[in-house]
Amino acid sequence: MTVETAPEQERIGTGAGGSAWATIRRGLSLTPEFRKGLVGTLALAVVATIGKIIVPIAVQQTIDTGIGDGAPDMPYITRAVVLCAAAVILTALASYLMNVRLYKATESSLATLRVRGFRHVHDLSVLTQNTERRGALVSRVTNDIDQISTFMQWGGLMIIVAFGQLFVASVLMVIYSWQLTLLVWICFIPLLIALPRFQRWLSRAYTVVRERTGDMLAAVSESVVGAAVIRAYATERRTAERIDKSVDANKAAQVRAQTIVGFVFPLTEIVAAVAIAGIVVLGVRLGVSGDITAGQLIAFLFLITLFVSPLQTATEVLNEAQNAVAGWRRILGVIDTPADVADPGDDGVELPRGPISVAFEQVHFAYPGGPPVLRELSVGIQPRSRIAVVGETGSGKTTFAKLLTRLMDPVEGRVTIDGHDLRAVRFSSLRARIVMVPQDGFLFDGTLEENVRYGKPAATRAEIQLALTELGLADWLDGLPAGLDTPVGQRGESLSAGERQLVALARAYLADPDLLLLDEATSAVDPATEVRLARALEGVTRGRTAVSIAHRLSTAENADEVLVFDGGRLVQRGPHAELVAEPGVYADMHASWVSAAHS
């Protein structure tokens, strides 16, 4: 396998360009479920928010009618309290409905986005997929979406509630006294201005925490994944030191972030207390001049509490908002990355099944920004022929396989099957007719049967059994503890590398393609088994076209024709017997193979 570095390959977007608003708008435009009924939800939110000022109003009414000249107006107060209680229950109901609607809308829309992103990752070309680590791709459809979800259901709601709360409180305040309202705002405005700065500190601190956590997890995993090597080299102490260092660095970063929160969080309390003291001082002066009643003044003290919680949580909310926007960018980055090797879909050609012929016409390929790896390749493969492809690492043989299976498209020229340009053939048709068995036999966590069935979802157990028998694997299967029901483990890890390749081969064979392409597909199998397998394959591929990227001499010897690649060019082709007789790349390779095998 060659290491593919693709410096200028179309990378999966990070959506770094564009404002946060543009990102959110684009995100919402992709999720109709969220917009549907949004007006109703917002209306409920308004009702729920208005509920917050019931208590201050009730306090004002009680004080102003309850004290002063003699006996309080009890019937009036009772009526007011009952009315307010009804209003509280009503707003609680509104709040419940709003919550449920919000959860439903956000979760449905995010599920849609998640599934769409997931599907699109599979639609991206292999090259594009390889520009990003698998874990990062996974997080785009998991953690990043979860972050949006947390924000929409808590932070986003807090923003709406906070603004609503500050607004209705301010309106009521202005009705009671514009002078005191002004005072309250003068007290809180410096805090509002400082909040984004606090949030930046916090966000930086959390970024450090995330990095340290990553380091810590990497260090911890060494003690598990590297257990054998650590013991064999007696490096327990060194490993422990490295782990301890990373664990402590992580702890220090967490404590630091927590300390910032610890200092920022109570600031609101102090500002609120200053505002309350100011209200008392200014309020009694206004009271003396008759501009305000005692009830109104006391109601102000209650109204201040409505300022505290939005501002206390503001840094956290802002932080979450930032994360959510980042999450949105990353999921949109996936969805907006064009699938550069695209399925023509319904416009494409559907080819009938049957023997398949392939032609490469003046094909040229280079990885983006890299030197050409395949030049001016023109070659035809006859139906039903068995082809072996040989060449050193980096000769272009793997590229040849990827172009033939349309994992990539040529930069120039075209590849055709049965005379049709591959780019015009529907994926459903193409994948049914041409199947590649890659070198790394990746298996899904499940039983052996399930993995073989992946090649043909409708296959019965008997068919699967038959396929394995036809490949000469019945003895091997019988030797397994639970036969077809043997669990293969995560990524097939319970089986040996060679056994994984056997299952991968059976899976491809069951798919019953017209052209089977083996990319060093039996490299990890022991020699005796490999020879048996080669013989069986010869039988089962009769009548089909078979292309093998060869890593062993015998494969090339048995082929109808050998394609020899060197430095990105097809330098020789013909049957083994002819090629070995003429001086050239193949004869040299053959000589070194023979000497290796017989020395």
Partner 1 sequence: MWKIRHWKETHRVANKVTSAVMRQGLRVLGVAVRAEKAVFASAVVASALYGGMTVASAWALGWATQNVIIPTFGKGEIAAGALWTGVLLIIGTALLKSIGIAGRRIFAGVMQYRMQARSRRDVTKQYLRLPLAWHQRHPTGQLLANASSDAEAAWAPLAPLPMAVGVVVMLVTAAVGMLFTDLVLALVGFLVFPAIAVLNLVYQRRLSPLVTRAQQLRAEVSEIAHESFDGALVVKTLGREDLEAERFRRRAHELRDANVAVGRVRGLFDPMLEALPTLGVLAVLGVGAMRLSTGDIVSGQLVQVAYLFTLLSFPIRALGWVLAELPRSVVGWTRVQSVLEAEGSMVYGEETPGRDEPATLAVSDVSYSYGETEVLHDVTFDLPPGRTVALVGPTGSGKSTLVQLLVRLVDPDTGRVLLDGTDLRELAYGKLAESVALVPQQTFLFDDTVRGNVALDLPMPDEQVWAALRVAQADGFVSGLGAGLDTRVGERGTSLSGGQRQRLALARAIARRPRLLILDDATSSVDPQVEARILYGLRDRAEASTVVVVAYRLATIALADEVVYLDRGRVEDRGTHQELLERCPGYRNLVTAYEREEAVRAALDADAALGLEETEVSA
- Name which of residues 298 to 327 contact partner 1 (CB under 8 A): 298, 301-302, 305, 309
- Pick from 36, 108, 357, 361 the residue near partner 1 by CB under 8 A: 108
- Pick from 2, 14, 362, 469 the residue near partner 1 by CB under 8 A: 2
Asked if 66 interacts with partner 1 (CB under 8 A), we say yes
Q: How far, in Å, CA of 395 to CA of 409, rounded?
A: 18
CB under 8 A, 24+ apart: contacts of 287-294: 291/177, 291/179, 292/176, 292/177, 292/180, 293/60, 293/63, 293/64, 294/63, 294/64, 294/67, 294/68
Q: For every residue of 300-331, which 3-state class applies, written as one string? A: HHHHHHHHHHHHHHHHHHHHHHHHHHHHHHHH
User: Looking only at residues 68 through 87 of this chain, which bind partner 1 when binding is defined by CB under 8 A?
Assistant: 68, 71-72, 74, 77-78, 81, 84-85
Q: How far is the CB of 366 from partner 1 (least distance, A)?
A: 20
Asked if 574 interacts with partner 1 (CB under 8 A), we say no
Which range touches partner 1 (CB under 8 A), out of 24-32, 97-105, 170-178, 323-331? 97-105
Binding mask 109-128 for partner 1 (x = CB under 8 A): -xx--xx--xx-xxx--x--
Eight-class DSSP state of 351: P
Asked if 349 interacts with partner 1 (CB under 8 A), we say no
Q: How far is the CB of 18 from partner 1 (least distance, A)?
A: 26
Segment holding 544, helix H or strand E: none
Asked if 357 interacts with partner 1 (CB under 8 A), we say no
User: Looking only at residues 388 through 417 of this chain, which bind partner 1 when binding is defined by CB under 8 A?
Assistant: 392-393, 405, 407
Q: How far, in Å, CA of 181 to CA of 200, rounded?
A: 29
Q: Which is nearer to partner 1, 22 or 67 (CB)?
A: 67
Residue 219 C-alpha from the chain's centroid: 24
Eight-class DSSP state of 487: B
Q: Which is nearer to partner 1, 22 or 597 (CB)?
A: 597
Radius of gyration of the chain (CA): 35
Q: How far is the CB of 582 from partner 1 (least distance, A)?
A: 19
Residues near 150 by Cβ (< 8 Å), separated by ≥ 6? 320, 324
User: Looking only at residues 469 through 488 of this chain, which bind partner 1 when binding is defined by CB under 8 A?
Assistant: 479
- Pick from 166, 216, 326, 580 the residue near partner 1 by CB under 8 A: 216
Residues near 40 by Cβ (< 8 Å), separated by ≥ 6? 101
Which range touches partner 1 (CB under 8 A), out of 19-27, 284-292, 366-374, 458-466? 284-292
Contact 450, 444 (CB under 8 A): yes
Report angle CA 14, 12, 145 to the nearest 5 degrees.
Answer: 60
Asked if 211 interacts with partner 1 (CB under 8 A), we say no
- Pick from 103, 163, 167, 178 the residue near partner 1 by CB under 8 A: 103
- Pick from 314, 363, 553, 562 the residue near partner 1 by CB under 8 A: 553
- Token match 């199947």: residue? 435
Q: Which is nearer to partner 1, 231 or 353 (CB)?
A: 231
Asked if 442 interacts with partner 1 (CB under 8 A), we say yes
- Pick from 137, 331, 422, 563 the residue near partner 1 by CB under 8 A: 137
- Token match 């036809």: residue? 470
- Checking phi first, is residue 512 left (phi over 0); if not, alpha (psi -120 to 50) or beta? left
Q: How far is the CB of 190 from partner 1 (least distance, A)?
A: 16
- Using CB atoms within 10 A of its CB, is residue 576 exposed (0-12), middle (13-18) or buried (19+)? buried
Report angle CA 312, 315, 318 to the nearest 5 degrees.
Answer: 130
Residues near 574 by Cβ (< 8 Å), separated by ≥ 6? 561, 562
Binding mask 504-543 for partner 1 (x = CB under 8 A): x--xx--x------------xxxxxxxx--xx--------
3-class secondary-structure state, position 550: coil
Q: How far is the CB of 485 from partner 1 (least distance, A)?
A: 15
Q: How far, in Å, CA of 400 to CA of 248, rounded?
A: 50
Beta bridge partners of 158: none
Beta bridge partners of 562: 388, 574
- Pick from 8, 35, 40, 134 the residue near partner 1 by CB under 8 A: 134
Q: How far is the CB of 524 from partner 1 (least distance, A)?
A: 7
Q: Which residue, among 156, 136, 159, has the nearest Cα to 147 in the 3D structure? A: 156
Asked if 22 interacts with partner 1 (CB under 8 A), we say no
What number of chain residues touch partner 1 (CB under 8 A)? 175
Which range touches partner 1 (CB under 8 A), out of 162-170, 194-202, 266-274, 579-587? 266-274
Asked if 201 interacts with partner 1 (CB under 8 A), we say no
Q: How far, in Å, CA of 317 to CA of 319, rounded?
A: 5
Asked if 43 interacts with partner 1 (CB under 8 A), we say no
